[in-house]
Amino acid sequence: MFYSKENLRFLLEDVFNAESLCRFDYFKDHTAENFWMMVEAAETLSVEHLRPILLEMDRNPPHIENSRIKVHPKMLELMKMFGSDGWISMSAPNKFGGQQAPFTIMQSCAFIMAAANYSTMAFPFLTTGAAHLIEAFGSETLQQQFIPKMYAGEWQGTMALTEPQAGSSLSDITTTAKPTEHGHYLIKGQKVFISCGDHDACDNIIHLMLARIEGAPAGTKGISLFVVPRMRQQADGSLAFNDVNTAGVFHKMGYHGAPIAHLIMGEKNDCHGWLIGEAHKGLNYMFQMMNEARIGVGLQATAISSAAYYAALEYAQTRLQGRKPTEKDPHQPQVPIIDHADVKRLLLFQKAVVEGSLALGLQATMYFDQWHVTEGDEKEENYLKLELLTPIVKSYPAEMSILSTSAALQCFGGYGFTKEYLAELFFRETRIHTLHEGTTAIHGMDLLGRKVMVKNGKAAMLLMQEISADIHNAKQHDALKLNAAKLENNLQELQQVTFHLMGVAQAKGAEVFLADATLYLELFGIVAVAWQWLKMGTKAHEVVASKKYAASFLSSKTHAMNYYFEYELPKTAALAQRLKSDNFSTTAVNSDEIV
């Protein structure tokens, strides 16, 4: 298997009590049982339909034929299935035909599907995100026109931000929108790296696209959001080409199943777009989709780490090689490599990353769901914690997945480098995650330069309070006291670093303050995942008596927690030391002094 169902159950039921969401009116039709049925259905779909085509998709990447992108033929059937079986709309409101499932459950299902075959995932869940945007900010006409087809899996949704000259710098977007007297705008420009931006597994592609209305202010304050379909509906209901041209498909290192398009709009001046919400507020709207997608990226990186981990674990349990260091007799049989301490270490590292990242992701989805359905202070508190965690939930799993899939590959020895096993595929596949939905550097600046500062640090304060409460809980158990104390120290250290950096901001200005924001993000991520491990360790301790879980599952949990606190958490020392140092700053190095 490519994930642990027992662990997902432990997280949803015991650590996060997802069932508690059913107390809210919005989720009242749901029960714990029906959450679990969704998870089971995601597994069935993944095992029967997604994993079987993983290798084929890798070996046969999308390609251009007659100016269209062709994807794996199975995607046609899958898109229909994602629609008819309710995957695309599962978290959508009932009034749009959705099931009003929590984001937590939708992301849990998506996690399983991504562990099976990451590329297939982009198709349905990008459509979900795009449809949510139209639901939230689009006119009723736009909603009626687009949402049903999107939830049916007939029309693909996308998120079209990036342009060749403006990758991370959204303020430099130059795609233009010229108003017409017919209500629509004429769109002209180019977009690159558009996931599922064109393919032949559905009838239409609906781009949620950022563009600048003629005369709009420069920078991010002049960006508007449009719905720009590849084919537009005629008065008679038929579809006509909307001048959205496929200029190319990107050939890439992995993630081969998903087509990444280069699009050119308005070559014939006939690309119609419809404004979503108010003019010049497009980036704010888009952030809704981007924030959902960022949590998704973290969980998808985790999913690939999970797939690699279980592949490595199975190999380590069955591959015979060598003997224990204390066994000098070559006549004795060779042992499974999992018996070697270093292989155990590689596996525990992966488990610590996978389960820590998954817990952190679900922590964020729980804030998301509670933010979504609560009011007043409770709403704001959930929102602030969610906002603060988002860059971490995106980046820690993404960065660590590079190392975790690499550790999985290492477990296979020389075979890991070959295409005889999937390890090399996972290693290639996951490398996208520190790049898309904002590079790690962008998230570092988002965390330190924005999120930590919001409302005079209120978000950070709320999170610290919650972590402190969990430390307090852990301290009730003798077996957890040591790790609880370690986390407490690290939390204090993180606060010291934060205050130190605020001093730097005042004394040295924004550039020096933000110079090592990526390291701050890394530090925060290690501490946040330690918090999740302490929570899991505490819960594992508490549920022993219930016999709900196998003893080996719970002792494995405790071992992985201890691994994390012994091997991973100490890495904060070097980061904190560096972040508190004023001895060297990259901002003092001239660009021409790097040769």
| H or E element, residue 186 | strand 185-195
Per the CB < 8 A criterion, the answer to whether 586 and 594 are in contact is no
Does 284 sit near a copy of itself (CB under 8 A)?
no
Does 214 engage in binding with a copy of itself (CB under 8 A)? no
- Closer to a copy of itself at the Cβ: 239 or 441? 441
Catalytic residue from among 43, 135, 292, 437: 437
Q: Could you say which of 302, 365, 518, 538 contacts a copy of itself (CB under 8 A)?
A: 518
How far apart CA 290 and CA 160 sit, in angstroms, is 11
**Which of 290, 409, 504, 534 touches a copy of itself (CB under 8 A)?**
409
* CB closer to a copy of itself out of 51 and 212: 212
With contacts defined by CB under 8 A, name the span among 33-41, 104-112, 457-465, 557-565 that binds a copy of itself. Answer: 557-565
Smallest gap from Cβ 397 to a copy of itself, in A, equals 16
Q: Is 517 in the site for a copy of itself (CB under 8 A)?
A: yes
**Per DSSP, what are the bridge partners of residue 241?**
231
Q: Which stretch binds a copy of itself (CB under 8 A): 37-45, 117-125, 263-271, 409-417?
A: 409-417
Residue at token pair 């299902």? 109
x/- contact string, 342-381, with a copy of itself (CB under 8 A)? Answer: xxxx-xx--x------------------------------
List 20, 94, 321, 489, residue binding a copy of itself (CB under 8 A) = 321
Q: Return the SS3 of 499.
A: helix
458 binds a copy of itself (CB under 8 A): no
- Sequence-distant (6+) residues with CB within 8 A of 423 are 308, 311, 312, 405, 408, 409, 411, 412, 415, 416
Among residues 20, 334, 492, 496, the one that binds a copy of itself under rule CB under 8 A: 334
331, 375, 478, 506: which one contacts a copy of itself (CB under 8 A)? 331
Residues 174 and 212: beta-carbon distance below 8 Å: yes
DSSP 8-state assignment for residue 231: E
Query: Distance between CA 148 and CA 142 in Å, rounded?
Result: 11
**Among residue numbers 39 through 58, which ones bind a copy of itself (CB under 8 A)?**
none
Nearest-approach distance from CB 193 to a copy of itself, in angstroms? 5
Q: Which stretches of 196-238 are assigned E, i.e. beta strand? A: 204-213, 224-229, 231-233
Contacts (Cβ under 8 Å, ≥6 apart) of 196: 122, 123, 126, 127, 156, 158, 205, 258, 259, 261
Alpha-carbon torsion 304, 306, 311, 312, what sign?
positive
Measured CA distances, 508 to 315, 503, 588 (Å): 52, 8, 12
Pick the closer one to a copy of itself by CB: 320 or 469.
320
Rule CB under 8 A: is residue 63 a binding residue for a copy of itself? no
Measured distance CA(126)–CA(110) in Å, rounded: 11
**Least gap, CB of 499 to a copy of itself (angstroms):** 20
How far is Cα 254 from Cα 240, in angstroms, rounded to an integer? 34
Q: At its nearest, how many Å lie between a copy of itself and the CB of residue 387?
A: 20
Tell me the backbone φ, ψ of residue 210, rounded to 5 degrees: -90, 135
Binder among 74, 252, 280, 475 for a copy of itself (CB under 8 A)? 252
Tell me the closest approach of the beta carbon of residue 320 to a copy of itself, in angstroms. Answer: 7
Site for a copy of itself in 413-452 (CB under 8 A): 413-414, 416-420, 424, 427-428, 431-432, 434-436, 439-441, 444-445, 449
Residue 466 annotated in active site: no
Helix H or strand E segment including 135? helix 103-137
Q: For a copy of itself, which residue of 307, 338, 422, 460 counts as binding (CB under 8 A)?
A: 338
Sign of CA dihedral 382, 385, 391, 396: negative
Single residue of 65, 234, 506, 594 touching a copy of itself by CB under 8 A:
594
User: Which of 113/194 has CB closer to a copy of itself?
Assistant: 194
Closer Cβ to a copy of itself, 54 or 517, answer by number: 517
Taking CB under 8 A as the rule, does residue 291 contact a copy of itself? Answer: no
Considering only residues 256-275, where is the footprint of a copy of itself by CB under 8 A? none
Q: What sign has the CA pseudo-torsion 560, 563, 568, 573?
A: positive
Choices 78-86, 145-153, 246-254, 461-469 (CB under 8 A): range interacting with a copy of itself: 246-254
Candidate list 160, 516, 533, 540; residue touching a copy of itself; CB under 8 A: 516
How far does the chain reach from its first CA to its final CA, in angstroms?
Answer: 47
Is 82 near a copy of itself (CB under 8 A)? no
Interface with a copy of itself includes 318 (CB under 8 A)? no
Note whether 174 binds a copy of itself by CB under 8 A: no
| CA distance linking residue 389 with residue 377, whole number of Å | 18
Could you tell me which of 264, 184, 270 has the C-alpha nearest to residue 227?
184
CA angle at 55 for the pair 313 and 59, rounded to the nearest 5°: 135
Question: Of these, 74, 280, 340, 458, which contacts a copy of itself (CB under 8 A)?
Answer: 340
H-helix segments, 14-99: 32-45, 54-59, 74-84
Please, which of residues 2-41 interact with a copy of itself by CB under 8 A?
Answer: 4, 6
Q: Which positions from 92 through 111 interact with a copy of itself, judged by CB under 8 A?
A: none
566 binds a copy of itself (CB under 8 A): yes
Count of positions (residues) in the chain: 595
A 10 A CB-CB count for 310 gives 19
- How many Å apart are CA 92 and CA 57, to the nearest integer? 29
With respect to a copy of itself, which residue has the nearer C-beta, 190 or 406? 406
Q: Which is closer to a copy of itself, CB of 325 or CB of 376?
A: 325
> Closest distance between a copy of itself and the C-beta of residue 302, in Å?
17
Binders in 475-514 for a copy of itself, by CB under 8 A: 482, 509-511, 514
Which among 201-209, 372-380, 452-460, 573-581 is the span making contact with a copy of itself, rule CB under 8 A? Answer: 573-581
Q: Alpha carbon 338 to chain centroid distance? A: 30
**Count of residues interacting with a copy of itself (CB under 8 A):** 109
Strands 224-229 and 185-195: unpaired
Q: How many C-beta atoms surround the C-beta of residue 326 within 10 A?
A: 5
Query: Judged by CB under 8 A, does residue 219 bind a copy of itself?
Result: yes
Closest approach of a copy of itself to the CB of residue 586, in Å: 4
Annotated catalytic residues are 437
